[in-house]
Amino acid sequence: MTRFNSFLLKHLCKGIAVGWSLLAVFLISDLGGVGTIILKSSNTVMAIGLLLMGFAITFGSCAMGIGVMKYLPEPDGEKS
């Protein structure tokens, strides 16, 4: 794995962690009654799974984009 790939993977994991934490707060606080609706539905696992994937994709890609925009490549000849 190259250095840049590990850089992107690190940012992806951070974004997923932030997204899932925000989703947990969102469901626990029952904002707009969404938590109650999901828990009372017959497909609770599927609904939470879809939310987890949606938040992971959204926040993970956002964190990777921020990482790429802040990335400073090494000057030529200075490879570690």
pLDDT category at 71 given cuts 50, 70, 90 is confident
What is the rounded distance in angstroms from the CA atom of residue 27 to the CA atom of residue 50? 13
Is-contact 12 63, C-beta < 8 A?
yes
What is the rounded distance in angstroms from the CA atom of residue 20 to the CA atom of residue 2? 27
Residue 75 burial (10 A CB sphere; 0-12, 13-18, 19+): exposed
Entry pTM: 0.84
What is the rounded distance in angstroms from the CA atom of residue 27 to the CA atom of residue 44? 12
Question: Model confidence over 20-66: pLDDT tens digits?
Answer: 999 999 999 999 999 999 999 999 999 999 999 999 999 999 999 99
